[in-house]
A and B are shown apart, each in its own frame.
Chain A
Amino acid sequence: MARILLVLVAALALVAGSASAQRVNLLCSPDLAWCEALGPAFTEATGYDLEFIRVSSQDALARIRAEAANPVFDAWFGGTGDPHLIAMREGIAEMYIPTVWDDIIPELKAVINEEYIPLYAGAIGFVVNEEALGGAPLPRTWRDLTDPVYRGLIAMPDPTSSGTAYTTLATLIQIFGEDEAFEILEGIHMNIAQYTSSGAAPGQLAGRGEVAIAVQFMHDGVKFAAQGFPLTTYAPEEGVGYEIGGISLIANAPNREAAIAFIEWALTPEAQAIAGELGDSYQIQSNMNTEQHPLAPNFDEINLIEYDFDRWGDPEVRDQVLTRWLNDIFPIPR
């Protein structure tokens, strides 16, 4: 018994992990391909190593919270803005002003009140598989989605679990006012084939013809089209809301110096160009000197609404909207 136990203890000890000093531990929330492309380029530029874990921004927030007393991660790259904002307000992430701060697109900084560092922006839109429409016309407006010809042909993420869907709800309310927005949501609900738990899933369903219309971020639609799925991506006429992805320094980061070097590097035009070139990611990059990828949805051609990030990022407002959706829309049989 003594021997067994000692062998066990020794075995556990031998495989115990260890962290080296000159390494950035990164929580990476955008597309995996983008995350994978960051490491080699960063090491080449600065000499620091980089290890990352790809988790959605919600998972990332949950992890940072759970590990707040003893952080494992140094920096958090990408992912929709609300969780970054919450992390900042809770003090588990730290506002660091990078040297390129003045090059960051001023509008992006302004709308989020300079509460976190903007990394990219992406707008909500329609991602449509024309073949799967079966002859029905392309929907052009939010109201079009309530037309019964689209019955069983629409997918959108589930508002109770996806930040993308919440952005859609907030967009509709900001365009139409709450009551009219919920009327439209009820109409869309009758046409929905399924609500997906992940924000990027509707576009994949549309790509494979499981549905015809996906409501989600346009840059994801562009990505799926680039992968070969028969998809067209565009914004509805009434206007669309958008997200501003963030990059944050974790409070009490174990490798703070390396983390700062990473944030400085990630905001340079060279680093941001990686997104479209190697990372299958077509968001608008936040540094105004970055050459935007040709596939990236052009914000000048999209009717962007004046999205109130302060109000709609507030967890209480979010709770109210979701509760109303759950009570008014979710139970309707279809």
Chain B
Amino acid sequence: MSTNTTSHPSSTGMGLRYSGAWLPAAIAAAGFLALPFGRPGRPFLTIDPDLYAWAIGHPLLWFVLVGALAALVISLLKLPTAPRGDLLIGAGTVGLGAGVLWFLLTATPFGMGALVAFAGLALVIGHALSESGRVQGDAFIATSILVVSLFVLLFIIYPLFMVMRSAVVVDGAFDLSQFRRTITHPLFFFLENPRSQIDEVGLTMRWGVVVGLVSAAWALFRRRSLPLVLARLVLGGIVGLVIGAMMYGRGALPTSLLTVAIVAPACTLLGLAFALLGQRSSFRPVRRSLDVISVLPIITPPFILAFAMIFLLGRRGIITHGLFDLSVNWIYGIPGVAIAQILAFTPIAYLLLRGSIASLNPALEEAAQTLGAGPWTTLKTITWPLVRPGLAAAFLLSMIESLADFGNPIILGGDRNFLATEVYLSLTGRYNPNEAASYGVVLLALVLLAFFVQRWWLGGGSFVTVTGKPSSGALAPIPRAVEVALTAVLLVWTVFVAALYASIVVGSFAQLWGVNYTFTIRHYQDFMRAGWPVFLYTARVAAISAVPAMLLGFLVAYLVSRHRFWGRRFVEFGSLLSFATPGTVMGVAYIFAFNTGPWLLTASATIIILALVFRNMPVAIRAAVAGLAQIDPSLEEASTMLRARSFTTLRRVLFPLLVNTLVTGLIFAFVSAMTAVSQVIFLVSPGNQLATVLLLGWVEQGQLGRAAAMGTILIVSMLLTILVVLALAQRISARVVRVES
């Protein structure tokens, strides 16, 4: 990944003009004076005369105004740029610090005035950091870094800190016993089962030995050095032990790991297959239909898909019982959950990989083939190394999604327990936030491990294929045999998915899904009465959250992959955390963090939107990072050389090249916001009810017909949204390409 740094000319000169910080400073001062600084309770827009800063009259508050006015005056003085920047940093920090301190001391909920004043002061500091030369880059970069870091701190790290605290702080004192109790509990993991006939520990050991020996033998065969062979022996042994523990152990940990071990490779491979087909199939309808088919499962609320699977594959399932006359319960447990997750997460892998495959420069493959390479060699030596970052991202994402998935295990898990559902169940079923937090810690540790393994696998290679000219040249067809095989996989997938969706639609029109198939529109009438307002509200909230999620994601991706700055790792890590944290833990974390004091936000739409923004932002980041990795930084350098400011470079150079990726990110943010459950289940409040939470209620209550009706309407409306937006994006992308060339 490139770590190129752009430094702006203005930060080096002795400019005597006024500083751009005057505008935010003026906004800060105006906001401070014109809007109420605090608020009496939850409502934002109440104008309480007692809560204007000048009515409160606390000395600390005057420092806020002094800071803002000082910044205004300083920025208009004709001073050398660098020292003026330092002065502005001082003024801004005094104002911001005094205000924050006042809130911490009095625990008053913040008001609009404070919001505007603090935002203004943060912008002042951002400008100043750039002008003083303390942050390399222009005002836009410096401000972005500051704001993004603040967001990560406030909306990701702080809530997580609050919930982690409860894993190890019991009744106000540090106490590890709760954590220890959780991870030694049989619900979490146990291997030796005295009630079983087999010797689990022995079998696991055998796996460790066998895998260790095999991997060492392979290293020997490849004529590696002795230390490396020994390392392979140990590493293989560990992997073998883990495999054995997954197979013979019981409890949430091995269950979740085994599911991940099935789901993540399957999703990645299927995603790659579909991406290859979608881009390069010689059969047009395949390419056309792929976009629609592959996107279907992610627009579906997970409970619905899981239920449709029961009706197809359960003990009385249409396929298992009706077609094959079987009466089996195999679907409840790992097999059912794995199938449901593969259906649900392959499209995510597909969407990510499609970006990678689409931005491969066909000229490279043409060159290889001109030089006499066959399709196989081209695939192995050109295509594979280039899609590797995309593959790693897809693998990691499906892994995280599988680990954190809540909707499928809760319906199809049977009596196997999963880590993510245990978080929820220990919190709601066993009233134990400490235990829930401990499960959260374990999940986080697993995800971080995966993250570092991915890093190690990708190494530091460069995967630049875009050199300024948009892709041209004919796409190389994939080998015939491969294409036939892939198309067959797609066909099976399509038939199965079509059957699932058909059964949902049938269920929504049936008197009693699974028992009585008399036609009725009663469920739609029920939905219109009880669900429609909630549905509209959810769509509004999801749309509002998607835009900042996408913009922030793009910004973070750009900063992280194109700039070196103090705190870069922190931003990266924070956004990873926000995605990796299971939704239920994040939801409760938000309640812990935002229910008291200055940050009183619970029971509002704001907290739901914030949770969704920071939940979905990392997906946009991933997409944008993968896209950026394929764009040569020299493009931006050229733009900078021509004295374009970095905001201009971002807007005029990177944005057009990434339109497709970004629109994908936007749709994904919107759709996941519409279908999110686990992270908002604790945040809904009277008047702020969300469709999926209502749906879970209906499912739990056995109102499956109504749930299927809402599912059908969700699916259809989101499918339409995606089709329209994708079509628009393609037109924009095409126009951009025309203009640029």
Contact = CB atoms under 8 A, between A and B. Distances in A.
A290 interface: no
Contact of B701 (A2, A17, A19, A31): A31
Contact of B703 (A32, A160, A327): A32
Contact of B544 (A2, A15, A192, A194): A15
A197 B421 contact: yes
A309 B429 CA distance: 18
B147 interface: yes
A12 B701 contact: no
B354 interface: no
A196 B332 CA distance: 10
A326 B252 CA distance: 13
Contact of B604 (A8, A17, A86): A17
Contacts of B27: 2, 6
B591 interface: yes
B115 A9 contact: yes
Contacts of B2: none
A18 B702 contact: no
Interface string A79-122: 00001001000000000000000000000000000000000000
B112 interface: yes
B606 to A, nearest CB: 5
Interface in B524-550: 530, 540-541, 544, 548
Task: Tell me if A's interface is mostly helix, strand, loop or mixed.
Answer: mixed
Given A17-B687, A19-B42, A25-B686, A67 B425 contact: no
Nearest to A54: B697
21 contacts: A2-B123, A5-B147, A6-B119, A12-B609, A13-B606, A15-B541, A15-B605, A15-B606, A16-B45, A17-B605, A18-B604, A54-B694, A59-B428, A59-B681, A66-B592, A66-B682, A70-B600, A72-B685, A162-B429, A209-B315, A332-B195
A196 B700 CA distance: 11
Interface stretch (A136-144, A198-206, A233-241): A198-206
Nearest to B427: A62
Nearest to A199: B700
B24 interface: yes
A23 B43 CA distance: 14
Contacts of A6: 27, 116, 119
A254 B415 CA distance: 40
B103 interface: no
Nearest to A228: B512
A12 B413 CA distance: 38
A62 B193 contact: no
A48 interface: no
Contacts of A66: 433, 588, 591-592, 595, 682
Which 4 residue pairs spanning A and B have beta carbons closest together? A51-B686, A161-B429, A18-B43, A17-B604
Contacts of B457: none
B602 A72 contact: yes
Contacts, number: 213
Interface in B409-437: 410, 413-415, 421, 425, 427-431, 433
A210 B310 contact: yes
B252 to A, nearest CB: 11
Interface string A55-88: 0101101110111011011000000000100100
Given A25-B686, A161-B429, A2 B42 contact: no
Contact of B194 (A5, A67, A158, A331): A331
Contact of B685 (A25, A59, A160, A209): A25
Nearest to B118: A9
Given A6-B119, A56-B428, A61-B431, A201 B193 contact: no
B606 A16 contact: yes
A197 B112 contact: no
B149 to A, nearest CB: 14
A5 B123 contact: yes
Interface in A147-163: 152, 158, 160-163
A1 B144 contact: yes
Interface of A: 1-2, 4-6, 8-9, 11-13, 15-19, 23, 25-26, 31-33, 36, 51-54, 56, 58-59, 61-63, 65-67, 69-70, 72-73, 83, 86, 152, 158, 160-163, 192-198, 200-201, 203-204, 207-211, 223-224, 227-230, 254, 315, 326-327, 330-333
Contacts of B600: 70
A293 B596 CA distance: 44
A330 B44 CA distance: 50
Nearest to B596: A69
Contact of A58 (B431, B515, B516, B704): B431
Contact of A230 (B119, B428, B515, B551): B515
B515 A70 contact: no
Given A19-B687, A51-B687, A224 B186 contact: no
Contact of A200 (B410, B428, B702): B702
Contacts of A1: 123, 126, 139-140, 143-144, 147, 647
Given A208-B316, A333-B196, A5 B428 contact: no
B511 interface: yes
Interface in B606-656: 606, 609-610, 647
A331 B602 contact: no
B689 A18 contact: no
A73 B688 CA distance: 13
Given A17-B43, A17-B685, 10 more contacts: A2-B24, A6-B119, A13-B112, A63-B591, A66-B588, A72-B603, A197-B425, A229-B515, A331-B193, A331-B196
B603 A17 contact: yes
B515 A152 contact: no
Nearest to B591: A66
Contacts of A83: 431
A210 to B, nearest CB: 5
B314 A210 contact: yes
B362 interface: no
Contacts of B120: 2
Contacts of B592: 66
A194 B417 CA distance: 12
A163 B595 CA distance: 28
Given A2-B27, A9-B115, A331-B190, A58 B687 contact: no
A28 to B, nearest CB: 10
Given A9-B119, A72-B602, A158-B415, A17 B310 contact: no
Nearest to B43: A18
A135 B722 CA distance: 51
Given A162-B429, A208-B515, A210-B316, A15 B609 contact: yes
A312 to B, nearest CB: 15
Q: Pick the most buried of B193, B194, B687: most chain A CB atoms within 10 A of its CB.
A: B687
B90 interface: no
A58 B700 CA distance: 14
Contacts of B704: 204
B43 to A, nearest CB: 4
B84 interface: no
A53 B686 contact: yes
A69 B109 CA distance: 13
Interface in B305-336: 310, 314-316, 329, 332
Q: Pick the most buried of A23, A195, A224: most chain B CB atoms within 10 A of its CB.
A: A195
Contacts of B540: 15
A331 B200 CA distance: 13
